[in-house]
Amino acid sequence: MNILAIGCHPDDLEILCAGTLARCRKRGDRVFMASVMNGRDGSRTIPPEQLEKVRERELRASAAVIGARVLWPNLAGAHLDEVPGARMAVVELVRAARADVVITHAPECYHPNHRAVSRYVHDAVFTASLPRVRTASPAVEPPPALYWMDTIAGVDFQPTEYVDITATIGIKRRMLLKHRSQFAWLKSHVNMSVVDLMLTQSRFRGFQASVRYAEGFRPALNYPLARTKRLLP
Ligand SMILES: [Zn+2]
């Protein structure tokens, strides 16, 4: 299958679903990692025009760990809802990956732009299937299945599906470590050690599923395929 994971920022997927993506790669799926926004405002010290290049390199280095392909629409702005073309850019992501399964942020996530991505992707999986809606790539028919991934720190999110990532937690950590530009920023901005957060969250989802490490998901109720067949590893 073609698995497309769409994060808002370049490091979101490594925190929330990279262990599952690594398992998808191991079973032979093609994996695409997309960051809708380029994350150029995520620093106090690195100028935005420099940071967006750094963050693209970091995501590419992370994706290279598992042999995933990167999709980089290179959008920026305080509010994604006010960025022209953002919704159609997300439709094109679904098509460019020829996605069978899409994973993205849950509607409950705390970050306003994570929630915007969640809405856009929910809408895009359907819109991307319509041949008369034009973007650079042709329509994907039928619409792909859609899964919500966990929220940051698991706040307000109750998974219905768990993926055992005990075998890939080391790979997930290596991927997250590629996002060096964020460590000092997240510590000073929200007092968060991002690697500690990822390991703790993977561990407590593991407790819930009776394995060492796990990631939690919920199928979006947009499409029967996600309810009739298990598509995650
Ligand atoms: Zn984010």
pTM, entire model: 0.96
Domain-located, residue 231: no
Domain that holds residue 117: 2-222
Q: Is residue 206 within 8 Å of residue 212, measured between CB atoms?
A: yes
Domain-located, residue 63: yes
Domain-located, residue 77: yes
Q: Is residue 102 within 8 Å of residue 223, measured between CB atoms?
A: no
- Within 8 A by CB and 6+ apart from 105, the residues are 6, 7, 8, 12, 16, 114, 115, 117, 118, 121, 148, 149, 151
The secondary structure of residue 144, as a DSSP letter, is P
Residue 105 Cα to ligand 1 midpoint, Å, equals 9
Residue 148 Cα to ligand 1 midpoint, Å, equals 14
Residue 11 Cα to ligand 1 midpoint, Å, equals 7
pLDDT at 12: 97
Beta bridge partners of 147: 103, 219
pLDDT at 227: 57
Domain-located, residue 193: yes
16-53 tens-digit pLDDT? 999 999 999 999 999 999 999 999 999 989 999 999 99
Distance CA 175, CA 4 (A): 17
Domain-located, residue 152: yes
Residue 170 Cα to ligand 1 midpoint, Å, equals 21
Which regions of the chain are under pLDDT 70?
Answer: 222-229
Q: How many domains does the chain have?
A: 1
CATH at residue 191: 3.40.50.10320
pLDDT at 47: 95
Domain-located, residue 208: yes
Residue 37 Cα to ligand 1 midpoint, Å, equals 9
Domain-located, residue 232: no
